[in-house]
Amino acid sequence: MAKQKKAPRPKAQTPKGFRDYFGAEVTERAEMLKTIAGVYHQYGFDALESSAVETVEALGKFLPDVDRPNEGVFAWQDEDDAWMALRYDLTAPLARVYAQYRNDLPLPYRRYAMGPVWRNEKPGPGRYRQFYQCDADTVGAPSVAADAEICAMLSDTLERVGIPRGDYLVRVNNRKVLNGVLEAMGVSEEAQAADVLRTIDKFDKVGESGVRELLGKGRLDASGAYIDGVGLSDDQAEPVLAFLTSKGADAAKTLANLRDAIGGSTVGATGVDELETIATLLDAGGYGRDRIEIDPSVVRGLGYYTGPVFEAELTFEILDEKGRKRQFGSVSGGGRYDDLVKRFTGQEVPATGVSIGVDRLLAALREKGRIGSSVQGPVVVTVMDKSRMAEYQTMVAELRNAGIRAEVYLGNPKNFGNQLKYADKRQSPVAVIAGGDEFDAGKVQIKDLILGAKLAENASLEEWQDRPSQYEVARGDLVAKVREILDLYQ
């Protein structure tokens, strides 16, 4: 014990790559999660909350082949030397849960899940090691009606949390179409297919001509470095470029272009048929091109998913850190993946789902001023006379019973200026003041802090006198007067 006292003081520091969230940051997220859960629920999805901890074995992707698995996850050994880790997403736990409870769960199983996930990656600006995901998945439904439903739900969700129609777009593509294109190109070797996939993943950045160069001989990078190409001939590269640029004026035209691009490939035809079914279902549901569209230039996730792929983008522009205009970009992605449960049971189980990046979506809403503009602190009942604490508490109780957020000042009451500074720091709209004189007279002082601050900044002496920001009212009118002032600032 004596030894410990000599130990240096610990640093009070958020661990590297993590964040603390205060006040409205927390409540606004909670509000958004509740809204999203409401939409998911209405679509028939059921909540699931698995533990934050999984066995590394069940997480799969990150099996420890060295002393300690530190590739992407936070992991440790338990008392039986088994490796445990924090989940890195909500899909891997769903696979484990579905395999474990499959005899008791309905089939198909629609579930939603929301919560933090952890990544043991190098943190960067806006990139944290813990962040929220909000997923919905349908397990055991082979029909692309399930995919269409997810797209419709995603569209509804974005509008429900406050992104108006026109400010977002859900774009849909299909991995099977790409597979058909590869077949049409005569690319059957796995390594070469992977090269093509890696190349089209750069389509967003380098555009059509860039992809053309990278599929062929190679390309001189913006940095001056030469990037080797895949080595396909121009003819061979043509179908994949036709695929990426096949978006037409409407779904029918896009689908026709895709049919051209896949040539005679069967899997490709299945893929185009699936996109057509999705388009038909969404159309019947009233989800037009202003909300959801078939867009073969969506390449993110094509390497991971096995069928339809979706991405939701916010289309309005924001200013980046250098003051340049750019689109806000992706806030959600998903698609169909058919070997979710196979690792555990050996049986292939079809699944499709979507993940919403809640923190990005919140950032977008804040950027547009749709949330976070009107944070209001509690009414502060100040303490002029320490011995009357019970009476101040009664005032606070009256305010709270009327549904007004209120508190009594609990610091050292000696310096009254500190109490008003405190109210200021708390962003309090109103302070209540009562000392001996007021108690004797059955009165109370009510100070409008918002008006007071405005006057202090701008007003001339005349205005100041004309528009008092402090009112003396009868003790019985406390709640009514506070309410009157609060209503001014709603």
Identify residues 258-287 at the interface with a second copy (CB under 8 A): 277, 280-281, 283-286
Specify the stretch interacting with a second copy by CB under 8 A; choose among 191-199, 319-327, 387-395, 471-479.
387-395
Using rule CB under 8 A, residue 412 touches a second copy: yes
Using rule CB under 8 A, residue 243 touches a second copy: no
In terms of C-beta density within 10 A (0-12 exposed, 13-18 middle, 19 or more buried), how is residue 363 classed?
middle
Using rule CB under 8 A, residue 78 touches a second copy: yes
* Ligand-binding site membership of 287 (annotated): no
C-beta atoms surrounding 216 within 10 Å: 16
* Ligand-binding site membership of 89 (annotated): yes
For a second copy, which is the closer residue by CB, 44 or 166? Answer: 44
Within 302-403, strands assigned E span 308-319, 325-336, 351-356, 379-381
Using rule CB under 8 A, residue 433 touches a second copy: no
* Ligand-binding site membership of 90 (annotated): yes
| Smallest separation, CB 235 to a second copy (Å) | 31
Using rule CB under 8 A, residue 425 touches a second copy: yes
* Ligand-binding site membership of 133 (annotated): yes
For a second copy, which is the closer residue by CB, 13 or 373? Answer: 13
| 450 within 8 A of 489, measured Cβ to Cβ | yes
- 379-381 vs 226-228, strand pairing mode: unpaired
Q: Within positions 140 to 199, which residues make up the interface with a second copy, using CB under 8 A?
A: 140-143, 145-146, 148-149, 152
Within 259-320, strands assigned E span 292-294, 308-319
3-state secondary structure (DSSP) of residue 171 = strand
Measure the CA dihedral 144/147/149/150, to 10°: 170
Binding a second copy (rule: CB under 8 A), the pick from 2, 12, 66, 225 is 12
DSSP code for 486: H
* Ligand-binding site membership of 388 (annotated): no
How far apart are alpha carbons 287 and 190 in whole angstroms?
37
Tokens of 296: 């073969």
* Ligand-binding site membership of 305 (annotated): yes
| Smallest separation, CB 426 to a second copy (Å) | 5
- 218-220 vs 443-448, strand pairing mode: unpaired
* Ligand-binding site membership of 137 (annotated): yes
Looking up tokens 């992605």 gives 333
Using rule CB under 8 A, residue 343 touches a second copy: yes
Binding a second copy (rule: CB under 8 A), the pick from 64, 72, 74, 297 is 74
Binding a second copy (rule: CB under 8 A), the pick from 2, 6, 20, 442 is 20
| 167 within 8 A of 290, measured Cβ to Cβ | no
**198: phi then psi, degrees, rounded to nearest 5:** -60, -35
Binding a second copy (rule: CB under 8 A), the pick from 160, 289, 400, 443 is 400
| Smallest separation, CB 379 to a second copy (Å) | 8
CA 226 to chain centre: 37
Measure the CA dihedral 469/474/475/476, to 10°: -120
Specify the stretch interacting with a second copy by CB under 8 A; choose among 235-243, 331-339, 364-372, 385-393.
385-393
Specify the stretch interacting with a second copy by CB under 8 A; choose among 57-65, 297-305, 364-372, 480-488.
57-65
* Ligand-binding site membership of 91 (annotated): yes
| 262 within 8 A of 187, measured Cβ to Cβ | no
- The binding site for L-histidine consists of 89-91, 119, 133, 137, 300, 304-305
